[in-house]
């Protein structure tokens, strides 16, 4: 159990920079998640820590030890692969015990440890089976078992839940959190699923194109996204964005048919920056939709699509060239082509500089 | 309606294997069975086409025939020598070629696989030049490095002739066996050896504990091929020494050559069929034992 430090780590594959100057310190015992779209370099980071790839530049430390030149087999990390990578010709017992066997652990002790882990993960009755005879969820448990059995310094998990069906994924998510807390081992998890990242992690590192977008707790990332990319990535459905000019005198954000009065607390921040082109973001669940009797400043729009979720619905509303998505209660009965009015909730606006796409102001 | 669907579901699968079965029966099983019966007759095309039943006479005589005993010994020798070379050579070549980031492996793979695609007549001519007693490459090199006492007529010396042919045979077919193992290695997900590396296995342990067990079906195919080949591979033996008959047929003739000589050259169909039946049985039995031993079956 150690902390993991990456210092200015870069990894290139021929011309492609998969990881570009990444520095981060992952604390001992932390549940740390690398979040980003596919191809963003998050899996490469994990493989660099595991020793399956070597860094092009920079340094990696496990605890006090610089591991740049330490081969994977000597790093004492454990990894759960996306496809689980169980050894197909071995029984689950052999899968779990191989790492102990090559370390010359006595047979008695192996038996005991396998039993312990099997009980913890409830796979005791599967030990004599081959991986191909197991369901996806059972294979996943076996793969986790293989990782935890030798008490490694760090756990690495590459999309551990992505091959499971929706219901199983939710329950395994909870189990993983509990397991990690119980074992207290540093865990680095890679996922493209923001819900997974939000629910499981102590801290999240959002990556895009090999670079760090934001590092923080789930709450920080959700409430104070550092830039437009992070904003789009967190939250389902994603945040709405409207490009606006700031009409300074009236403090109104103007984008043709979309005119929105700037709440008082934002006015000074925005006028101080002297920016004219802005992007305004607001989350679908922070919009009030009126089917009739709109208040004075509400914005008129036409319903485009209604997606039913059961207790809620997603309304896509067309206004000018924009489609605004809104999460509404089931009793908002707007159908396609109905005219509706909406207003983003006060205190829910996120303002970005259009040029740099970095956050200027915003708060939940 | 339901009955019809059920019936077609039950019979449908068999329909799909009919073409393969038809081929198998008409070109493999039927000749093998008919060959066994020819072996029970005195069919001799020099004397005519009469199928007079003579019981096990051919089978008994063939066993006593010193030429067949020699051919059987030779085949066994080819099997024992070539199988390990081809299996081990093919396997190590495949492992090398599959290894990540190894330089020159494409060139190596090409060189290894090339002889498989060469016409056997060309291969055997090249090797006849190499083995030539007067100006062949091997003898020339030996003489130049003052090892002249080792020179010999490689293909015309009873102690070296068959081994020389085996060398050519292995040189040619290592590429084929490499292809068998390589295709299986390629089909193993990359994450499996990676998981083993993270688990703490050395590269050698990954090969012996993970890759090799997964290659089991390949070993089966490869070994059956080499053992059967030792008894039935015709080309090099015939082309390099067989046309001239070697040293009275006993130095290099394998079972297939014995069958060929008796059946095609001497037209003693009944007698050669008896030898063919023995060959089929022996190859089948050998493979059965080996596959059982390796727990592939």
* Whole-number pLDDT of residue A157: 94
Name the residue of chain A whose CA is nearest to B199's CA: A99
The minimum CA-CA distance between A266 and chain B, rounded to whole Å, is 51
In a domain, B60, yes or no: no
Asked if the C-beta of B208 comes within 8 angstroms of chain A's C-beta atoms, the answer is no
Q: Is the pLDDT of residue B245 over 70?
A: no
User: Among partner residues A82, A87, A150, which is closest to B210 by beta-carbon distance?
Assistant: A87
Counting the structural domains of chain B, the total is: 1
In a domain, B17, yes or no: no
> Which residues of B are less than 8 Å from A81 in CB distance?
191, 194-195
**Quick one: CA dihedral B242, B247, B252, B254, positive or negative?**
positive
Name the residue of chain A whose CA is nearest to B203's CA: A73
Q: What is the ipTM of this complex?
A: 0.80
Asked if the C-beta of B194 comes within 8 angstroms of chain A's C-beta atoms, the answer is yes
Asked if the C-beta of A252 comes within 8 angstroms of chain B's C-beta atoms, the answer is no
3-class SS string, A237-303: CCCEEEEEEEECCCCEEEECCEEEECCHHHHHHHHHHCCCEEEEEECHHHEEEECCCCCCCCEEEEE
The secondary structure of residue B41, as a DSSP letter, is B
Dihedral over alpha carbons B250, B251, B257, B259 (to 10 degrees): 20
Task: For residues A188-214, give the mean pLDDT.
Answer: 91
Q: Is the pLDDT of residue B1 over 70?
A: no
In a domain, B54, yes or no: no
- In a mutational test of the B interface, the residue from A85, A100, A151 whose CB has the highest number of chain B CBs within 10 Å is A85
Residues A50-89: pLDDT tens digits? 999 999 999 999 988 999 999 999 999 999 999 999 999 9
CB pairs A-B closer than 8 Å: 63
| CA dist., res. B156 & res. B146, Å (int) | 22
| CA dist., res. A145 & res. A142, Å (int) | 5
* Whole-number pLDDT of residue B248: 61
Neighbours of B175 (CB within 10 A): 22
Q: Is the pLDDT of residue A9 over 70?
A: yes
- In a mutational test of the B interface, the residue from A67, A98, A132, A156 whose CB has the highest number of chain B CBs within 10 Å is A98
Q: Is the pLDDT of residue A106 over 90?
A: yes
Count how many residues are written for chain A.
Answer: 364
Read off the CATH number of the domain in which B242 is found: 1.10.3720.10
Residue A337, class by beta-carbon neighbours within 10 Å (0-12 exposed, 13-18 middle, 19+ buried)? exposed
Task: For residues A167-196, give the mean pLDDT.
Answer: 89
B201–A51 CB contact, under 8 Å:
no
Edge-to-edge strand ranges of the sheet holding A252-255: A258-261, A252-255, A240-247, A277-282, A350-353, A359-362
| CA dist., res. B51 & res. A308, Å (int) | 84
Among A208, A203, A246, A243, which residue's Cα sits nearest to residue A229? A208
- Site of tokens 């009980």: A119
* Whole-number pLDDT of residue B211: 94
Task: For residues B54-79, give the mean pLDDT.
Answer: 93
In a domain, B28, yes or no: no
B197–A98 CB contact, under 8 Å:
no
Q: Is the pLDDT of residue B96 over 80?
A: yes
- Site of tokens 């390796």: B294
B198–A103 CB contact, under 8 Å:
no
Contact A75, B194 (CB under 8 A): no
Higher-pLDDT residue of B88 and A263 is B88
> Which residues of B are less than 8 Å from A145 in CB distance?
none
Q: Is the pLDDT of residue B2 over 60?
A: no
* Whole-number pLDDT of residue B297: 67
Contact B156, B69 (CB under 8 A): no
SS3 of A344, please? strand
The minimum CA-CA distance between B100 and chain A, rounded to whole Å, is 12
Q: Is the pLDDT of residue A278 over 90?
A: no
A85–B192 CB contact, under 8 Å:
yes
* Whole-number pLDDT of residue A142: 93
In a domain, B59, yes or no: no
Higher-pLDDT residue of A285 and A255 is A285
In a domain, B11, yes or no: no
Cα–Cα distances in angstroms (integers) from residue A78 to residues A152, A196, B72, in the given order = 6, 20, 55
* Whole-number pLDDT of residue B152: 86
Q: Is the pLDDT of residue A253 over 70?
A: yes
First-residue to last-residue Cα distance in chain B: 41
Asked if the C-beta of A103 comes within 8 angstroms of chain B's C-beta atoms, the answer is yes
Task: For residues A269-290, give the mean pLDDT.
Answer: 80
Task: For residues A39-56, give the mean pLDDT.
Answer: 92
Contact A278, A246 (CB under 8 A): yes
Name the residue of chain A whose CA is nearest to B191's CA: A85
Q: Which residue range(s) make up the domain with B263?
A: 76-293
B198–A87 CB contact, under 8 Å:
no
In a domain, B29, yes or no: no
* Whole-number pLDDT of residue B116: 92
| CA dist., res. B185 & res. B207, Å (int) | 11
Q: Is the pLDDT of residue A245 over 90?
A: no
User: Among partner residues A73, A81, A103, which is closest to B191 by beta-carbon distance?
Assistant: A81
Asked if the C-beta of A49 comes within 8 angstroms of chain B's C-beta atoms, the answer is no
Residues B118-170: pLDDT tens digits? 999 999 999 999 998 888 999 999 989 888 888 888 888 888 889 999 999 99
Q: What mean pLDDT, rounded, does chain B reach?
A: 89
Task: For residues B225-235, give the mean pLDDT.
Answer: 90
| CA dist., res. B33 & res. B122, Å (int) | 35
Asked if the C-beta of A83 comes within 8 angstroms of chain B's C-beta atoms, the answer is yes
Among B220, B221, B258, B227, which residue's Cα sits nearest to residue B82? B227
Q: Is the pLDDT of residue A16 over 80?
A: yes
Rounded to the nearest 5 percent, the helix, strand and coil shares of chain A are: 30, 35, 35
Which percentage of chain A shows pLDDT scores above 70? 96
A77–B198 CB contact, under 8 Å:
yes
* Whole-number pLDDT of residue A264: 72
Provide φ and ψ at B124, rounded to 5°. Answer: -70, -30
Asked if the C-beta of A246 comes within 8 angstroms of chain B's C-beta atoms, the answer is no
Which percentage of chain A shows pLDDT scores above 90? 46
In a domain, B142, yes or no: yes
Residues A254-277: pLDDT tens digits? 777 787 877 777 777 776 766 667
- In a mutational test of the A interface, the residue from B184, B185, B193, B200 whose CB has the highest number of chain A CBs within 10 Å is B200
Dihedral over alpha carbons B54, B58, B60, B62 (to 10 degrees): 170
Task: For residues B52-73, give the mean pLDDT.
Answer: 92
Contact A255, A244 (CB under 8 A): yes
* Whole-number pLDDT of residue A364: 43
Q: What mean pLDDT, rounded, does chain A reach?
A: 88
Among A231, A246, A272, A229, which residue's Cα sits nearest to residue A364? A231
- In a mutational test of the B interface, the residue from A52, A97, A105 whose CB has the highest number of chain B CBs within 10 Å is A52
């Amino acid at each position: 159990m150690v902390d993991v430090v990456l210092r200015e780590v870069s990894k290139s594959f021929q011309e492609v920079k998969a990881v570009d100057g990444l520095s981060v310190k992952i604390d001992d015992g932390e549940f740390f998640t690398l979040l980003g779209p596919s191809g963003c370099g998050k899996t490469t980071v994990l493989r660099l820590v595991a020793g399956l790839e070597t860094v092009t530049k920079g340094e990696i430390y496990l605890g006090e030890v610089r591991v740049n030149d330490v081969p994977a087999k000597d790093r004492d990390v454990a990894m759960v692969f996306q496809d689980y990578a169980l050894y197909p010709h071995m029984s689950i017992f052999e899968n779990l015990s191989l790492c102990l066997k090559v370390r010359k652990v006595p047979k008695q002790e192996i038996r005991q440890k396998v039993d312990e882990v099997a009980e913890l993960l409830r796979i005791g009755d599967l030990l004599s089976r081959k991986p191909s005879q197991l369901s996806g969820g059972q294979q996943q448990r076996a793969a986790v078992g293989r990782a935890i059995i030798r008490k490694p310094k760090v756990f690495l998990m590459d999309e551990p839940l992505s091959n499971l069906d929706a219901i199983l994924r939710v329950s395994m998510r909870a189990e993983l959190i509990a397991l990690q807390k119980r074992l207290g081992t540093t865990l680095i998890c890679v996922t493209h699923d923001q819900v997974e990242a939000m629910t499981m992690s102590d801290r999240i590192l959002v990556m895009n194109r090999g670079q760090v977008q934001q590092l923080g707790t789930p709450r920080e990332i959700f409430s104070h996204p550092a830039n437009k990319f992070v904003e789009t990535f967190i939250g389902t459905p994603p945040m709405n964005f409207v490009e606006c000019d700031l009409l300074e005198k009236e403090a109104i954000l103007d984008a043709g048919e979309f005119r929105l009065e700037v709440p008082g607390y934002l006015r000074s921040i925005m006028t101080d920056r002297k920016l004219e082109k802005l992007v305004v973001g607001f989350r679908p669940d922070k919009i009030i939709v009126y089917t009739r009797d709109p208040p004075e400043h509400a914005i008129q729009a036409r319903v485009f699509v209604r997606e039913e979720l059961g207790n809620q619905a997603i309304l896509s509303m067309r206004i000018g060239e924009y489609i605004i998505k809104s999460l509404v209660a089931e009793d908002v009965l707007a159908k396609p082509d109905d005219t509706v009015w909406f207003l983003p909730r006060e205190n829910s606006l996120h303002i970005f500089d259009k040029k740099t796409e970095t956050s200027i102001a915003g708060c939940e | 309606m339901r009955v019809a669907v059920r019936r077609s579901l039950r019979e449908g699968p068999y329909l799909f294997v009919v073409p393969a079965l038809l081929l198998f029966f008409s070109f493999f099983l039927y000749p093998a069975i008919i060959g066994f019966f020819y072996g029970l007759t005195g069919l001799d095309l020099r004397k005519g086409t009469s199928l007079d039943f003579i019981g096990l006479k051919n089978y008994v005589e063939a066993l006593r025939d010193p030429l067949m005993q020699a051919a059987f010994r030779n085949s066994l020798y080819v099997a024992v020598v070539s199988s390990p070379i081809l299996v081990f050579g093919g396997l190590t070549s495949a492992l090398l070629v599959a290894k990540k980031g190894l330089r020159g492996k494409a060139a190596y793979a090409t060189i290894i696989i090339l002889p498989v695609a060469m016409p056997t007549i060309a291969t055997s001519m090249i090797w006849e030049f190499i083995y030539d007693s007067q100006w062949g490459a091997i003898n020339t090199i030996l003489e130049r490095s003052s090892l002249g006492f080792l020179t010999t007529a490689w293909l015309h010396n009873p102690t070296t002739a068959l081994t020389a042919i085996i060398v050519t045979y292995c040189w040619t077919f290592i590429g084929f066996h490499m292809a068998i193992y390589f295709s299986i290695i390629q089909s193993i997900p990359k994450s499996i050896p990676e998981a083993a590396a993270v688990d703490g296995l050395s590269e050698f342990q990954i090969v012996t504990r993970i890759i090799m067990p997964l290659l089991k079906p390949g070993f089966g195919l490869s070994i059956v091929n080499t053992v059967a080949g030792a008894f039935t591979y015709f080309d090099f033996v015939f082309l390099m020494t067989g046309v001239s008959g070697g040293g009275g047929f006993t130095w290099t003739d394998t079972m297939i050559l014995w069958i060929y000589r008796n059946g095609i050259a001497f037209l003693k169909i009944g007698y050669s069929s008896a030898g063919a039946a023995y060959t089929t049985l022996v190859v089948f039995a050998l493979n059965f034992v080996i596959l059982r031993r390796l727990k592939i079956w």
